[in-house]
Amino acid sequence: MSYFIQKKQSLHVVLDTNATIIDIESNIDELTINKSAYIGKNWFDSFIGTSDRDKAIEVFSRLLNGKTEKKLTHHNDIKCKNGKHLLLDFESEVIIENDEKKVVSKGVLRYQPF
């Protein structure tokens, strides 16, 4: 048994109002991110599977339209290149930078082996 807290595996993403990826980073083993391959791509097309797509788009829209709390917690499935799907707990918020809204999200891998 380990008495030390493991570093949580997480995914950080910044999206513009069209859900285009502005910045992205991950330290999740199964989700190796090559930034240049994803920046400029649509978040939903690149990472959200069909089962969670409608829910994720709704959360994104509610955040941008101010119809929810400033910070919103939610979870959804992320698809990896190897075909595997991972469940992440996200905390997302809207920030305004240079008069432009952006959605900043941090997702933490829900199930991690000890």
Q: Are 89 and 105 in contact (CB under 8 A)?
A: no
pLDDT at 23: 96
Residue 80, token pair as written in the block: 């990896």
Q: Please check whether residue 43 lies inside any domain of the structure.
A: yes
| Tens digit of each residue's pLDDT (9 = 90 or more) over 53-93 | 898 999 899 899 887 767 778 888 888 877 888 999 999 99
Which pTM was predicted?
Answer: 0.85
Q: Are 62 and 55 in contact (CB under 8 A)?
A: no
Q: Is the pLDDT of residue 5 over 80?
A: no
C-alpha 67/C-alpha 21 separation (Å) is 22
Could you give the number of structural domains in the chain?
A: 1
**What CATH number does the domain containing 40 carry?**
3.30.450.20
Q: Please check whether residue 41 lies inside any domain of the structure.
A: yes
Task: Give the domain extent around 77.
Answer: 10-109
| Tens digit of each residue's pLDDT (9 = 90 or more) over 9-59 | 899 999 999 999 999 999 988 887 889 999 999 999 999 977 888 989 998
Q: Give the N- to C-terminal CA distance of the chain in Å, as an integer.
A: 9
Owner of token pair 């409608």: 54
More confident position, 23 or 113: 23
Q: Please check whether residue 83 lies inside any domain of the structure.
A: yes
pLDDT at 46: 92
Q: Please check whether residue 5 lies inside any domain of the structure.
A: no
Helix (H) / strand (E) containing 59: helix 50-64
Q: Please check whether residue 114 lies inside any domain of the structure.
A: no
Q: Please check whether residue 3 lies inside any domain of the structure.
A: no
Cα 64 to Cα 33, 42, 97: the distances in Å are: 25, 16, 14
User: Mean pLDDT over residues 101-109, rounded?
Assistant: 93
pLDDT at 113: 47
Q: Is the pLDDT of residue 3 over 60?
A: no
Q: Please check whether residue 4 lies inside any domain of the structure.
A: no
